[in-house]
Structure 1
Amino acid sequence: MSGDPPGPQGDRLTGNLHSFTSDPLGFLTDCAREYGDVVNISSHNVLLGDPGDIERMLVDREGVFAKTTAETRQRTRKRGFPRAMMNSEGADWRHKRTRVSPAFTRALVAGAADLAHQEASELADRWPTGEPLDPAPAVARLALRTVTKLMFGSAMSDEDVAAVSRLVREIMDVSLSPITLPDWVPAPRAVRMRRALRDVDRVIAGVAGRSHAADPSAAPVLRALLDGDPAPSQEELRDELATLVLSGFETTKNAVLWCCEQLARHPAVADRVAAEATAAETTAAEGAGAGRLAALPFTDAVVRETMRLYPPAWLTSRETIEEVEFGGYRIAPGTTVTVSQWVTHRDPRWHADPAGFRPERWLGGAGQPPRGAYFPFGLGPRACIGAAVAGTEVTVVVAELCRRFRFELDDPAAVRPRPALSLQPSGLGLRLRARQVADAAG
């Protein structure tokens, strides 16, 4: 097949910039449905939709694609964490991934289950019932305390949680802007970002300092970094810890919030989760770890289905470093190739009733989607290193909160997905009704 892939022409001067920035989820969905599995969405940007092509891009194409280029790293070096594993390439990335991977063990996942249950139980004790509630701040605190205590053996204080939350908010606001100003421009947003980065530097240094002498089993990720050969510089340690904390926190927080939103809309599903959680609670011993997760198969399916509809990452891109072919089209070097979890997870070719909330689809049996049709945490060697930990935390937290409460949406029509760097629920307000144990069990 010759020529360029099909795609929308857009405005003569700005192309499809306005369409994308005003409604990125709708724009990408319309592109895929109208033009097929290989779409030109700009002069140097191609959208893929076929699961086989997605898998090839994310799993099988090392040496053909780069996650970050030297130009990208140079452009963002003052606004992010350039020395972190997730912002590295090639041999540098492989070294950093190998250094930290041994910390992400089954024991860490089991510890995640116990810590998440403890934090969720404490949160449930504090949450008021019957009145309008913005759940995001409390869930953010829970997620940050869990991820820092799990990885570093030390939970964040409320002051530290507030500092990290400010940085995440600034990062998300920047990611929504179609215009990136130079670093030297003293715009209010840039000033806030620099201040937030300094605050997080202080927080991470404090967490690392408190955990330095910790038992390696109580601070496995930090110890894996400190014991690396060669040991990381202070700047590299800061970048690694910051990205692990921020990504783990944001993923868990948003997934829990979206689960609460979906369970409020589907009370029969919520009742089933509550019953399962009550049964698990009566049989789980203290420190049940992975056994707790094994007792929650339906809740796990609810989390999977929620992340199908509202994936933590809604867009993933790579840049071609040599020519590659998709769908019969030759894609030139220097092209940004994009896949969208939001689009693919809702494609009726791979998911029956794609707009419906059907947790049962993840309980086994025939009809499972192709590998490249469901990838909330990515695929391949650069998939999220903490995917199992995050999934465990979300499942256990959702089970405990649903065991204790019935969720009601304060204004169902107000809830909208906010596609920043992650997919956040905007306008989510809840009212909580206390459950009786007998109600949950019956």
Structure 2
Amino acid sequence: MAAAPLETGIPGPVGDKYIGNLHAFSSDPLRFLTDCSRAHGDVVRIGEHNVLLSAPGDVETMLVDREGRFTKRSPLTLRRGRKQGFPTAMMNSDGPDWQAKRHRMQPAFGRALTARAAEIVDAQGERLLGGWRAGVPCRLDEDVPRLTLRLISELMFGSAFSDRDVADVARMVAPIMDMSTSPLLLPEWWPTPAKVRIRRSAARVDAVLKALADSPHAHDPERAPVLHALLHGDPRPTAEEIRDELGTLVMAGFETTNDSVVWASVLLGRHPEAAERVRDEAAAAFAGAPAGIARMEALPYTHAVVREALRLYSPVWLSSRDALRDVEFGGLTIPAGTTVTVSQWVAHRDPRHWERADSFRPERWLEGSAPAPRGSYFPFGLGPRVCIGAAVATTETVHIVADIWRRFRLELIRPERIRPRPALALQPTGVEAVPRDW
């Protein structure tokens, strides 16, 4: 039985008679969601079966969901067309299946992995930055992805990707990122360009993932902790689960760190005083603290810069769940089968909870600053499904940003052309820069 359309008692934009708000969302999703929240309140009907939540308490209730009222994929929305790449991976699973997979992987993502990330990032940073020359333009959105792919493969799987593997995986990630996270859906059979490109690259990427699974490092929990946990944890995964889990680990780990590093660098390029402060802090930290957690602790301002970049340009900019039964938010009843959406882009820039919400102010994260409500900042999610690699990704990002800016001052080329591109992740586009000596 299909879910009934939402009642008109829930406020929201009227949209087109035939396609509703699909065109408005597709044309500029960031503006559409922001305008919906600002114009219609904290509970907004954005489609026939879709609601946007904006109040921090409602966001927290939906994401934490201690009562089992929401699911990642309900039968109703699957019939309406939403399907996900890597469907058997942990991040796309639900209920007891998700709990078992999370339990299998969680031990690998402890403090030891975060410490190792802080240690090995130096070598990969040297490989990138050693090739930069002052005065010679670079493409951050091409160079940083190569660094992050090698970093996550060495950290999680025991050895860095080869140049060919980096190119192949990048070709896989690009079309997957093009797939919309929109809760306003095209039919699954619709032959989008992204789906065609994914099918074309799938065979080679499958070979890369299979090589990972067959690697001798798979039996070494110290050198390849994540790969070992996946292959040897309980319950033992099927071949399809191995492929899907590896695919999502590569994609999510790569894209989050890559986008965060580039956005933080863009913001520092636009704010020279903050850039100088990062340079001074990083120079002292790299000179005085050994690679590892001790250095991370010596980079509080750089960490604040990264947190502020995650506020303004969170790579995850949209999250959705499906209501399993009728739920109430803001005194309004949302029926079972409705897709309930929250947006980091909207919440992180809500002027009710953030002073000078659209401004880059790293100092808001330093000691003594008043915290914002919990549901107003969630770049890695909230609750039991918070990103399993959040601490690792943050550590990588802080160290890479510190390493770049202690060595070079990046002069942005045509900064007015830099734009956020809301694909599966919020990607920076048009980012060209010239490294300059300080």
Q: TM-score range by the shorter chain?
A: over 0.9
Quick one: which of 388, 391, 397 aligns to 1:388? 391
**Equivalence for 1:259:** 264
Q: Secondary structure at the match of 1:239?
A: helix
Q: Secondary structure at the match of 2:138?
A: coil
**Equivalence for 2:432:** 429
Quick one: which of 364, 379, 396 aligns to 1:376? 379
Structure 1 contact 25–419 (Cα < 8 Å) conserved: yes
Q: Deviations over 1:210-230 (max 9, x none)?
A: 244542111111111122223
**Equivalence for 1:412:** 415
Q: Secondary structure at the match of 1:353?
A: coil
Q: Secondary structure at the match of 1:205?
A: helix
Quick one: which of 231, 234, 241 aligns to 1:229? 234
- Once the two structures are aligned, what percentage of the paired residues are identical? 55
Q: 1:53 to 1:181 in 2, by over 3 A?
A: closer
Inter-partner Cα distance in structure 1 for 2:403 and 2:150 = 17
Q: Deviations over 1:150-177 (max 9, x none)?
A: 1111110111111111111111223289
TM (norm. structure 1) is: 0.93
Quick one: which of 211, 215, 220 aligns to 1:210? 215
Q: 1:29 to 1:129 in 2, by over 3 A?
A: same
Quick one: which of 277, 291, 294 aligns to 1:291? 294
**Equivalence for 1:363:** 366
**Equivalence for 1:342:** 345
In the TM superposition, what is the alpha-carbon distance from 1:180 to its structure 2 partner? 4.3
Q: 1:189 to 1:343 in 2, by over 3 A?
A: closer
In the TM superposition, what is the alpha-carbon distance from 1:71 to its structure 2 partner? 5.8
**Equivalence for 2:105:** 100
1:159 aligns with 2:164: yes
Q: 1:293 to 1:218 in 2, by over 3 A?
A: same
In the TM superposition, what is the alpha-carbon distance from 1:199 to its structure 2 partner? 1.7
In the TM superposition, what is the alpha-carbon distance from 1:364 to its structure 2 partner? 2.2
Inter-partner Cα distance in structure 2 for 1:46 and 1:67 = 15
Q: Deviations over 1:3-53 (max 9, x none)?
A: 622111111222111111101000111111111111111121111111011
Structure 2 contact 77–337 (Cα < 8 Å) conserved: no
Q: Deviations over 1:87-122 (max 9, x none)?
A: 111110000000000111111001111122221122
Inter-partner Cα distance in structure 2 for 1:187 and 1:27 = 22
Quick one: which of 305, 319, 326 aligns to 1:323? 326
Quick one: which of 284, 288, 307 aligns to 1:279? 284
In the TM superposition, what is the alpha-carbon distance from 1:67 to its structure 2 partner? 1.3
For 1:249, the aligned partner's letter is F
**Greater alpha carbon shift after TM alignment, 49-58 vs 231-240:** 231-240
Quick one: which of 218, 240, 246 aligns to 2:251? 246
Q: Deviations over 1:398-435 (max 9, x none)?
A: 00000000011100110010000100011111111023
Inter-partner Cα distance in structure 1 for 2:181 and 2:373 = 31
Q: Deviations over 1:257-298 (max 9, x none)?
A: 10110010001100100100000011122xx31111101000
Inter-partner Cα distance in structure 2 for 1:114 and 1:269 = 25
In the TM superposition, what is the alpha-carbon distance from 1:132 to its structure 2 partner? 2.8
Structure 2 contact 141–428 (Cα < 8 Å) conserved: no
Q: How many residues align?
A: 430
Q: Deviations over 1:170-193 (max 9, x none)?
A: 11223289874655x777643321
Q: Deviations over 1:300-323 (max 9, x none)?
A: 000000010000101111000011
Q: Secondary structure at the match of 2:86?
A: coil
Structure 1 contact 153–211 (Cα < 8 Å) conserved: no
Q: 1:117 to 1:71 in 2, by over 3 A?
A: farther
**Equivalence for 1:438:** none
1:17 aligns with 2:18: no
Structure 2 contact 316–425 (Cα < 8 Å) conserved: yes
Structure 1 contact 73–82 (Cα < 8 Å) conserved: no
Q: 1:176 to 1:330 in 2, by over 3 A?
A: closer
Structure 1 contact 254–312 (Cα < 8 Å) conserved: yes
Structure 2 contact 82–188 (Cα < 8 Å) conserved: no
Q: 1:37 to 1:188 in 2, by over 3 A?
A: closer
Structure 1 contact 324–330 (Cα < 8 Å) conserved: yes
Inter-partner Cα distance in structure 2 for 1:434 and 1:329 = 57
Inter-partner Cα distance in structure 2 for 1:344 and 1:157 = 39
Quick one: which of 357, 367, 377 aligns to 1:354? 357
**Greater alpha carbon shift after TM alignment, 202-211 vs 33-42:** 202-211
In the TM superposition, what is the alpha-carbon distance from 1:197 to its structure 2 partner? 1.9
Quick one: which of 397, 401, 412 aligns to 1:398? 401
Inter-partner Cα distance in structure 2 for 1:304 and 1:73 = 35
Structure 1, gaps ≥5 residues long: 436-442
Structure 1 contact 4–40 (Cα < 8 Å) conserved: no
Q: Secondary structure at the match of 1:368?
A: coil
Q: How does 1:77-92 map to 2 (within 5 A)?
A: 80-92=85-97
**Equivalence for 2:11:** 6
Q: Secondary structure at the match of 1:202?
A: helix
Structure 2, gaps ≥5 residues long: 1-6
For 1:400, the aligned partner's letter is D
* Alignment RMSD (CA, Å): 1.9
